Amino acid sequence: MAHEFVVPLFLGSGKPETADIALFGVCWDGTSSFKAGSRFAGFAVREASFGMEEFSFYQQQSLLDVKFCDYGDLFLPPGQKERVLADIESAVKEIRAKHQFPIAFGGEHLVALPLILAAYEEHPDLALIHFDAHADLRPDMWGDTLSHATIIGRAADRIGFENLFQFGIRSGSAEEWALMQRHKTGHPFTVDALREVLEQLGDRPIYLTLDMDVLDPSLYPGTGTPEPGGLSWDLLIAGLKLFKGRRLVGMDCLELAPHYDPSGVSAITMAKTLRELILLAAGRKR
């Protein structure tokens, strides 16, 4: 009798050699200022993925019809921030050099910085779309300029604030509020507002960074800094569907600290969001 040993990778993951889309975990939480624990996202999301269908009712497409692979979690030692950011940068550059579309998931938002900047290096006309409850525009957090609370500011320093489009933001400091007003980066999270921005962007390359705490904590409590007043699942899906056929060049889906949600629904919600992101990547404009 033949036996098959199953490596617990994301549901539907195929072979890396033939993959067009590369999923990988970046599960590190070294600057979490409140409830740490997103370093544990990888296992929780992969386990949760086994409870879902490959087929998406929302996009009428199945993961089984898409060439994607899950590389597993990048090894990111606790602490050692500079090393971690450099390792993420070299990993994502290697993936991009193979012409695979990167979708990173898991940890605190700071890990998105090298992911966004790698996309920007290839696409100097990059637009950054940011879904989050928090502005993440602080100049520093307790003197540290590189943290989950400063990541979008550091990305905007490089790509330009005029190329940043923020949705769902409902928390930040007075300084962040002023920055958002000055640069007009904030938009209401409505289907109409998002559609308008995407239409303005036309064929410009888009990087989507998705901090899952943009969702309401009643749906998604498993996160480091939950913020009441967030999105419903239906609104997130309606928003994501607008990205279909757009010129996406990279995505991430972050901030799952699974142990704060003993029901497991937060991990399931991230797994299902990743299914939608993989399908969007497959249908991207090239």
- What are the backbone angles phi and psi of residue 4, rounded to the nearest 5°? -120, 125
Taking CB under 5 A as the criterion, the residue among 87, 132, 176, 216 binding Mn ion is 132
Tokens standing for 214? 């943009």
Counting Cβ atoms within 10 Å, is residue 115 exposed (0-12), middle (13-18) or buried (19+)?
A: buried
Residue 128 Cβ vs Mn ion, minimum distance, rounded to whole Å: 13
Nearer residue to Mn ion within complex by CB, 12 or 106: 106
Residues facing 186 on adjacent strands: 166
User: Is 136 a residue that touches Mn ion (CB under 5 A)?
Assistant: yes
Q: Does 138 bind Mn ion (CB under 5 A)?
A: no
Nearer of residues 170 and 247 to Mn ion, judged by Cβ = 170
- Smallest distance, Mn ion to C-beta of residue 118, A: 18
**Count of residues making up the chain:** 286
Identify which of residues 63 and 112 has a Cβ nearer to Mn ion in the complex.
112
109 binds Mn ion (CB under 5 A): yes
Name the residue with tokens 């990988």.
24
Closest distance of CB 171 from Mn ion, Å: 8
Round to whole Å and give the CA distance between 187 and 171: 13
Based on CB atoms, which residue is closest to Mn ion, 211 or 216? 211
211 binds Mn ion (CB under 5 A): yes
101 or 220, CB closer to Mn ion?
220
Q: How many residues bind Mn ion (CB under 5 A)?
A: 7
Q: How far is the CB of 111 from Mn ion (least distance, A)?
A: 11
Distance CA 270, CA 213 (A): 11
- Do the Cβ atoms of 195 and 245 come closer than 8 Å? no
Integer Cα distance of 83 and 30 in angstroms = 12
Please name every residue paired with 164 in a beta bridge, in sequence order, or none if there are none: 128
Q: Minimum distance between the CB of residue 135 and Mn ion, rounded to whole angstroms?
A: 8
Closest CB to Mn ion among residues 259, 285: 259
**Euclidean distance between CA atoms 186 and 183, whole angstroms:** 8
Binding of residue 133 to Mn ion (CB under 5 A): yes
Kindly state whether residue 216 participates in binding Mn ion, applying the rule CB under 5 A: no
Location of structure tokens 């928390």: 171
Contacting residues for 63 by C-beta, under 8 A, at least 6 apart: 11, 12, 54, 55, 275, 278, 279
Q: Which stretch binds Mn ion (CB under 5 A): 43-51, 84-92, 132-140, 241-249?
A: 132-140
User: Smallest distance, Å, CB 53 to Mn ion?
Assistant: 28
210 in the Ramachandran plot: left (φ > 0), alpha (ψ -120 to 50) or beta? beta
- For the bound state, the minimum distance from the C-beta of residue 98 to Mn ion, rounded and expressed in Å, comes to 28
Q: Out of 96, 134, 154, 272, name the contact with Mn ion by CB under 5 A.
A: 134
Q: How far is the CB of 246 from Mn ion (least distance, A)?
A: 22
Among 213, 216, 261, 276, binds Mn ion (CB under 5 A): 213
What is the maximum alpha-carbon separation in the chain?
Answer: 67
Determine contact, residues 257/66, Cβ cutoff 8 Å.
no
What does the binding site for Mn ion look like in residue numbers (CB under 5 A)? 109, 132-134, 136, 211, 213
